[in-house]
Structure 1
Amino acid sequence: MIVKMKFLSITGPIHDIDRVSDVYLSKYEMQLEHAISELKTTENLLPFVELNPYKESLTKAEQFVSMLPEGNAKPDLSHTPEEMMDLIREVNHNYLNYQEQIEALEKEKTSLHEKLNVLEPFQPLDFELQDVTHYKYMRVKFGRIDVDYFHKLEKYLFEDLNAIFLEGARDANYVYGCYFTANTDSGKVDSVFNSLHFERISLPEGFSGTPATAYQELSQAITEKSKEIEQLEKETTEMLADNASNLLGARKRLEELTNNFDVRKMAARIDDKNDKLEDYYILCGWMGEDDVNAFIEETKNDDKVFVVVEEDREKFFGDPPTKLKNPKIFKPFEMFIQMYGLPDHSEIDPTIFVALTYTFIFGAMFGDVGQGFCLFAGGGILYLLKKINLAGIISVAGIFSMFFGFMFGSVFGFENVIEAHWLRPVEAMTKLPFVGQLNTVFVIAIAFGMGLNILVMIFQIINAVRSHNTGELLFSNNGIAGLVFYGFLVLTIVLYMSGHTVPGNIFMVIFLGLPILAFLFKEPLTNLVEKNHKKLETGKVMFLVQGFFELFETMLSYFSNTLSYVRIGAFAVSHAAIMEVVLMLSGATDGGSINWFGIVLGNLIVCGLEGLIVGIQVLRLEYYEMFSRFYKGTGREFKPFTNHSAGHK
């Protein structure tokens, strides 16, 4: 059902707006509208321009809470907003101090890593770095050379190059090492090495001992830095953990205060031009009728809150938002309504109708006790654990699948376990006049579709009455004229197929001819009834031509819409036939040994794939065959400003 909404305005001293938001609005679901836009007739309205003082502290609180270790800390809500903000500032100061120290250590660690990477390939060199880098008559240069050029270098060294090359580490591409040469030969030697693409590498300064010793010193220094960083991170975590309850409480309370303060975005200030009185705030929006009554009752003794309920909603822009309220078992089916479009306040809420018809049709198309139980149990568990609406729908549909499984006598495809309490879809046949032998479930499916078509036409008549749409009520193909035409046609077919006397020609003319004329002349008849002297937009000839084709489309829609329900019987038969194939392939029909793995696998495949297809086909029937006759779904969703869900108790 659709919750009846009322538009109300809330006014009070401007300094009291936070208290009102915190004490009252947090208890009720209210869709706030922009007061300045809605209350155009009210003078001296100004917007709020204050910045939210809680937003920055809330952001920090959320950051620190996300860093808390898992535990059972409970939020401490005993602090005032000022105390909570001071707490956040203190924690943030300590946190930034730790982070600054960690960042400095990380930089030092990165620098040490860079030096370590430089020294690593020179570890095999066995000499004192401090000595070789300070020779007076010799020069030493470190670097790397491509493996291919290194072979050429060896040739030069053996022949006439006055230099010594000491090899360090080697990888797939390069040979690392250093060369020694006398000062007098350094120019020539450097030229040769440069021609062989020797890449100079500058070793870090300040190290004594061999490269291997320097490498160990660097590794130890990096380890020490890592320990210092870990210690600071541990202290940071401990600092946050010590304040866990306060941080959790601050986040919760600051979130509420932030939401309450943000009410100002939708509110307006009533400016007192004489500056003699305090400025007032004004809030306006939509609230459910029960909430409105409870809200007024709660605030009647509060002299700082003044509430006005506006009964004449036409003065405001737009219709009320739509809020659905249905029993818990039907709640998941609201998902289908939201997918199509919410009803406006002049329409029937089709949630219960969809819930009953969807699950009933699904069960008829997918009748199996065993598979239905799997859908019921699996969907129910998922819905209870994860609150997935589709899982709840599947679970309820599984109940009807089990019901029709008993009616059809089918358990996981086996039809010899229980007796059919009604019929076997594949075997049951009915003899009809003119048609001959026809599967019984097809006949019942079409009859069921006819009944649904009549029902949704009644829904359309109710909607037309509620929206005061005379044309749709009287002359529409889904209104009274359509109901008379289709109902009489269905009655005639039923009488003929059951061997009874059909109505005479006079009744045919009255109950079929007159509605057809109503369809054809819907526009001028509507203008006549509503006393609207509007002329036809097209000429008479074009009006008749257009009316003829629309009438043809209407007749075709009645026919196709009715035949569309044949799919109910078709899927009931096909499901039984598919399971018979599964049993045959698994050896369950020839009296031999049964392949139980094949039985289980076949049932899983059928339950998954066919269940999905049936679910889509039933949804198609709902949307295209039923909704198209009575439902528009033009309502707008009710969106309460706050996220509080406690509600009024």
Structure 2
Amino acid sequence: MILPEKMSRVQIIANKELLDDIVTKILKFQNFEPEEPEEPISNERFEEARRKLGIIQEHLNKFQIIMDLAGVTIEPKGKMKAGNWNKIADEVDNDATQEEEKYKELLEEIGKIKSELDLYKAQLNEVLPFKDITVNLSKLYNLKLFDVYLLTILSSQLDKVKFDNALVLTKRINEKTYAVIIIAPKGVLQKDKIEKEIGAKVFETPEGKAPYDVYNEVQNKINELTKILEETRAKLKEKLRACEIHVKEIYGRLLTVRDALTIISRARVSEFYVQIEGYAPTKMVKKLKDQLKGEAFITERLPRRYGDKDKPPTLISLPKSIRVIESVVELYGTPSYWEISPIIFLIFTFPILFGLMFPDFGNALVVFLFAIWFYKYGKRKGSENTEKLSLVLIYSSIVAMITGLLAREFFGPVLVGGPREVFNNNSYPVGPLYYVWPVPVSVSDSLKYLIPFGNYSILSVEIEDTMILSIFIGALALFVSSLLGVINAIDKKDPEFLFYEKLPLLILYTVPLIIFGYGFVDINDYFGKVECLLGGLLTNIFSFPPNLSTPTYALAYILILWVEIGLIYNWISKVILIKRHEGHVGLGAAIGMGFIEGGFEAGILLLSNTISFIRILVFALAHYYLLYAFSYMGLLVLYSSVPYVAAVIIAGIIIALGNLLAIALEGLIVFIQDMRLHFYEMFSKFYEGQGRKFMPAMNYVELEEEKEVIKGEVIEVKAA
């Protein structure tokens, strides 16, 4: 899970008469990704397979369009006979063509409707800026005393809309366009002159109608066409469902033939032999050799070092239960074969950070139920990304429910802590769930530095201590990220990448870990020790000579020197890299650019990246106090002179609105900020994400042997 699976470059040489049988066994092997041979035995290819591959891919594209338009997911199923793959391709091509003919009329109708819709939507966008004008343009443009012109212009044309003796009114439509009304005395400005100088045409409507009327007419036509489109799609879906099994079989055969032809099209052929090459997991190569024993000669080698021509695909072996975390990583990019996968990192950090920033059992429960619905919606729509992100949200909301239990929060403070917590007054009663809550107050109090709320003593909690703990979590994450960057550089066997890119970062990001981990020398006075070291840092930064009166102050001065040396090292590294890879840059310019990137910018990032983790506390507090504010308003109504029944209803509405706002707004923001902490603060230290996924050729349906294949003798041939 930490490092990608070791891959081997495999070369298969066999008698060309055995090609179809070899391809069938590779498909069944399901762990071979075909590549162009590095040292081909000839320049001859199977051109027919290359041509038919394009036809099969076109059928797959059409099937995908049909499924998308119908809003259904078709999984490949069924059986097919293996044999001559060129003949099989012709058969599947014929079957797919016949199946597509069944939906041709409906697809053409949908295409026409969508084209009309696009046309009307374009018209709607044109008239949208002036839709509130109810006067016919034929009258507005023919006034006796004034000339009026309506235009839609780009922001770059704003400076051109300046005319003497004319009133110009502008209204912003979006970031790029503006609506303009020009009013001038009769005869002062001519239409042709305005259009030429501004570079935009005066807005007109059919028969000079009022923009208001045109807008409503177009909108009604769009609504009618949208309804017709949905009805046509429903017919397509119904027709597709009626022969779903047959469609699944053809779809599965198309996918299987595509992969078979991909193998053949990338192979090379000589007078007697065929050469197939590609990547396979090293641990699976023996199985491939066993399957092709007696039919082919197989050689293998491990990829060369990073930076050479080899660019192996990446295969991360993950248990099915946590494979969905991969979807978050793929938003950033696929890991390269030469780097540590951040997936193992995210399995723990992503849900935990989400839970710390969103600690409310009730709100997290709603997010959990929404994620389940969203997962089913994604499955129904055939969106794999939606399914994966939904599962990530499910895992994260489960952790948030746990932190909510520990914080004793259920839709805010009112149901557990009650008025006593909200008003911070022991004379008020506790909430109805106070005594039945499964986590006692003593446990919540012991976690107050990590989750700084959860009972009515919240106002006595030292928020500063929680800030220190939040930054410690960030310092630890940044140190581990920088360490992973060094390990990646070592694994790549790239000295330049190691000594000039990653090692300076590790040196710099060790300092925050020492500062905020210093308190562990005396765990009983953790926060006092850290605060003392922070004080020593401030003292020695602004004083000379340095204050070395205590061991803590001496450590503070050492850490200041450490950062200075680290920044100078990073500065020199950037200068060296600029001179090596941008030879046209002079030494002076390289020193200046190196200072900006390696000195100034690195120092700012060291500070900002570390402090950025305060957002863990900030969002947790923002979530709590948002619900606290609505709870306070609700209880004020409840304890007012308003009749009790009415007060309960009003208070319930206020608290419910607060929770809806917190769930919709805070839940989304926390998820985004969680991704931001990983993508920008952590991943940037060690993860490049410039790899490619391992995409093996495989059979998507069950393959049956058409006839017994005569085995050939093992070919005793060495690769060129």
The AA in structure 1 aligned to 2:668 is L
Q: Deviations over 1:586-625 (max 9, x none)?
A: 4587355433455445433321221111111111111111
Q: Once superposed, what is the RMSD of the aligned Cα atoms?
A: 4.8
| Equivalent of residue 617 in structure 1, options 673, 694, 700 | 673
1:481 is matched with which residue?
507
Amino acid at match of 1:594: V
- Whichever residue aligns with residue 591 of structure 2, its letter is F
**Aligned partners of 1:372, 1:447: CA distance in 2, in Å?**
25
**Partner residue of 1:594?**
648
Q: CA deviation at 1:282?
A: 1.1
- Tell me: CA distance 1:22–1:63, structure 2 relative to 1, closer, same or farther (3 Å): same
1:102 maps to: none
Asked whether the equivalents of residues 342 and 636 of structure 1 are also in contact (C-alpha less than 8 Å), the reply is yes
Aligned-pair identity (%): 21
8 Å CA contact 1:346–1:463 kept in 2: the answer is: yes
Q: Quick one: which amino acid aligns to residue 632 of structure 1? A: E
Are residues 1:283 and 2:276 paired? yes
1:620-631 alignment, distance < 5 Å: 620-631=676-687
- Out of 557-566 and 471-480, give the one that drifted further: 471-480
Report the counterpart of residue 134 of structure 1 in structure 2: none
Contact 2:375 2:391 in 1 (8 A): yes
8 Å CA contact retained: 1:460, 1:478:
no
Superimposed CA distance per residue, residues 213-262 of structure 1 (whole angstroms, 9 cap, x where no aligned partner)? xxxxxxxxxxxxxxxxxxxxxxxx9xxx9x99888766644653454134
Q: Distance in 1 between matches of 2:331 and 2:325?
A: 10
Partner of 1:360: 352
SS in 2 for 1:638: coil
Cα distance, 1:326 vs. partner? 1.9
Counting only pairs closer than 5 Å after superposition, residues 483-632 of structure 1 correspond to structure 2 as 483-491=509-517, 496-497=529-530, 503=551, 507=555, 510-514=558-562, 516-522=564-570, 538-539=586-587, 543=591, 546-547=594-595, 550-587=598-635, 590-591=638-639, 592=644, 593-595=647-649, 596-632=652-688
Q: How does 1:8-407 map to 2 (within 5 A)?
A: 8-35=10-37, 38-39=38-39, 42-51=40-49, 77=80, 252-253=252-253, 256-269=256-269, 271-272=270-271, 278=272, 280-299=273-292, 301=293, 303-313=294-304, 317-380=309-372, 382-383=374-375, 386=379, 388-407=387-406
The one-letter amino acid of 2:288's match is: F
Q: Distance in 2 between matches of 1:75 and 1:306?
A: 32
**Structure 1 residue 511 displacement after superposition:** 4.9
Distance 1:409 1:369 in 2: 8
Name the CA shift for 1:430/1:637 in 2 (closer, same or farther; >3 Å): farther
Q: Distance in 2 between matches of 1:55 and 1:629?
A: 42
Q: How does 1:408-423 map to 2 (within 5 A)?
A: 408-413=407-412, 414=414, 415-416=416-417, 417-418=433-434, 420=441, 421=444, 422-423=447-448
CA contact (8 A) 1:471 1:526 kept: no
Structure 1 Cα separation of the partners of residues 550 and 486 of structure 2: 27
Q: 1:48 to 1:516 in 2, by over 3 A?
A: same
Cα pair distance change 1:244/1:78, threshold 3 Å: farther
More displaced stretch, 347-356 vs 46-55 = 46-55
Residue 302 of structure 2 aligns with an amino acid whose one-letter code is E
Q: CA deviation at 1:349?
A: 0.7
Partner residue in 2 for 1:157 = none
Count residues in correspondence: 481
Letter of the structure 2 residue corresponding to residue 609 of structure 1: L
Helix, strand or coil at the partner of 1:564? helix
Report the secondary structure of 1:308's partner residue: strand
After superposition, give the CA deviation of every residue in 1:316-363 in whole Å (9 maximum; x if it has no partner).
Answer: 723212222222332112112111112223321111212311111111
Q: CA deviation at 1:572?
A: 0.8
What is the TM-score with the length of structure 2 in the denominator?
A: 0.56
Contact 2:8–2:281 (8 Å) recurs in 1: yes
| 1:457 maps to which of 482, 486, 510 | 482
Q: What is the alpha-carbon distance in structure 1 between the residues aligned to residue 691 and residue 324 of structure 2?
A: 19
Q: 1:507 to 1:14 in 2, by over 3 A?
A: same
- Name 2:216's counterpart in structure 1: none
Amino acid at match of 2:648: I
| Cα distance, 1:33–1:645 mapped onto 2, change above 3 Å | farther
Aligned to 2:696: 640
Distance 1:523 1:395, change over 3 A: same
Whole-angstrom distance in 1 between the partners of 2:494 and 2:100: 66
Shift of 1:295: 1.4
Deviations 1:91-142 (A, max 9, x none): 999999xx9xxxxxxxxxxxxxxxxxxxxxxxxxxxxxxxxxxxxxxxxxxx
Conserved 8 A contact 1:472-1:478: no
**Pairwise CA distance, 1:542:** 6.5
1:446 positional shift:
1.9
**Using the alignment, how far apart are the partners of 2:96 and 2:473 within structure 1?**
68
In the alignment, the residues of structure 1 paired with residue 661 and residue 497 of structure 2 have an alpha-carbon distance, to the nearest angstrom, of 46
Give the aligned residue type for 2:476. G
Residues 306 and 507 (structure 1), Cα distance of their counterparts in 2 relative to 1, 3 Å cut: same
Task: Classify 1:502/1:467 alpha carbon distance in 2 versus 1 (closer, same or farther; 3 Å).
Answer: farther
**What residue number does 1:107 align with?**
none
Query: Rg larger in 1 or in 2?
Result: 1
Q: Closer, same or farther in 2 for the Cα pair 1:48/1:324, shift >3 Å?
A: same
User: 2: CA distance between counterparts of 1:443 and 1:557?
Assistant: 18
SS in structure 2 opposite 1:11?
strand
Letter of the 2:403 counterpart: F
Q: Tell me which moved more, 337-346 or 313-322.
A: 313-322
Q: Could you state the TM-score of these two structures normalised by the residue count of structure 1? A: 0.62
Kindly provide the CA deviation profile for residues 52-111 of structure 1, in whole angstroms up to 9, marking residues without a partner as x: 6798799999999999xx9xxx95757988799789979999999xx9xxxxxxxxxxxx
Q: Residue 253 and residue 333 in structure 1: after superposition, are their counterparts in 2 closer, same or farther (change >3 A)?
A: closer
Q: Is the 8 A contact 1:369 1:412 kept in 2?
A: yes
**For residue 310 of structure 2, what is the amino acid of its counterpart?**
G
Structure 2 alignment gaps of length 5 or more? 105-238, 418-432, 435-439, 520-526, 534-548, 704-720
CA distance in 2, matches of 1:574, 1:61: 49
Change (3 A) 1:468 1:526: farther
Alpha-carbon shift at residue 7 of structure 1 (Å) = 1.0
Distance in 2 of aligned mates of 1:94 and 1:331: 35
Separation (CA, whole Å) in 2 of partners of 1:334 and 1:578 = 33
Shift of 1:488: 3.7
Give per-residue Cα distances to partners, 1:147-186, cap 9 Å, x unaligned. Answer: xxxxxxxxxxxxxxxxxxxxxxxxxxxxxxxxxxxxxxxx
Any gaps of 5 or more consecutive residues in structure 1?
100-236, 273-277, 432-436
* Aligned mates of 1:400, 1:456 — CA distance in 2: 23
Q: State how far apart, in whole Å, the 2-side matches of 1:320 and 1:546 are.
A: 33
Aligned to 1:123: none
1:441 to partner: Cα distance: 3.3
Give how far 1:397 is off: 0.7
